[in-house]
Structure 1
């Protein structure tokens, strides 16, 4: 069986020209150098934010220096998990005053996140050494790591948490 191309008929010739034209348009698309600005952008982009987000610097915190960042008076909300400080201000309804996780604001939330407990007993007093978390079970450590992954994908990491006398 041999395949022959007979371009002698007008239909085949027209199809061949159309296919070549289509391939040429795909391989060599037209270049447009428009000098006219579209009218819908003359007043600026409507999706641009009203103001630039405040710059967040990576800092080293202690339990005492972290405490003021509890969201009271509309301020920033920070919390720490396993030495990583997250800016959770965007989640004010959860982590701010009156929120479900509000007791973790401005504090080390490691033990509470690991144990899935919002009790104030989960919080280490700010004048004591950091909780070493040595008594946590492997499943609780995995739970805490899950929270760290969740927070890392959702909030800005803005610092590290160290002992009170480390700074």
Structure 2
């Protein structure tokens, strides 16, 4: 190989750099985060505060209403599934990422922190679609087959779009 050729002369430094990196790779460094735990052993850093995560759990109506987007960033709502005329579950979804729709100012805002089953089944945003908090959960017995199918469609939509965080009991 002749260095008198300009192309060869230009490639020599690049080849030497690549060879150096192969022979002496740089070691990745951990981010500069204050240590709180795990400073012994394999882990040498941990964040000072872990992010808040939703935990799957059972909710009652009063606990669910605390997650209506007012005073908290969490927005939850529940939708039921009915099989053979019986409610099999009331799934609680975290719809916080859809705050424009389900937040206090959103068009579905009245469903936030509540059981939205009847309203979703009937495609109605009226306040009378919501069960009074001091009454038993709506048994949804008067829904038609088409309304139940509509509610299941919403349940499936929410299952594919939002996190399931629990069930309403």
Structure 1 residue 54, shift from structure 2 partner: 2.9
Q: Tell me, which stretches of 5 or more residues in structure 1 are unaligned? A: 1-33, 45-50, 163-167
Q: Tell me, which stretches of 5 or more residues in structure 2 are unaligned? A: 1-20, 32-48, 81-89
Aligned residue for 2:71, secondary structure, equals helix
CA 148–52 in structure 1, closer or farther in 2 if over 3 Å, else same: farther
Pick which of 64-73 and 117-126 moved more: 64-73
How do 1:6-21 and structure 2 match up within 5 A? none
Structure 1 residue 61, shift from structure 2 partner: 0.6
Aligned residue for 1:97, secondary structure, equals coil
Structure 1 residue 52, shift from structure 2 partner: 7.0
Matched, 1:145 2:152: yes
How do 1:58-97 and structure 2 match up within 5 A? 58-82=56-80, 83-97=90-104
Aligned residue number for residue 122 of structure 1: 129
TM-score by length of 2: 0.65
Q: What is the aligned counterpart of 1:56 among 43, 54, 57?
A: 54
How far, CA to CA, are the matches of 2:156 and 2:60 in structure 1? 22
Runs of 4+ in 1 over 6 A off after TM superposition: none
Q: What is the aligned counterpart of 2:162 among 152, 155, 165?
A: 155
How many aligned residue pairs are there? 121
How far, CA to CA, are the matches of 1:74 and 1:106 in structure 2? 11
CA 75–146 in structure 1, closer or farther in 2 if over 3 Å, else same: same
CA 122–68 in structure 1, closer or farther in 2 if over 3 Å, else same: same
How far, CA to CA, are the matches of 1:37 and 1:84 in structure 2? 51
Larger strand share, 1 or 2: 2
Structure 1 residue 64, shift from structure 2 partner: 1.1
Aligned residue number for residue 27 of structure 1: none
How far, CA to CA, are the matches of 2:25 and 2:149 in structure 1? 54
How far, CA to CA, are the matches of 1:37 and 1:78 in structure 2? 49
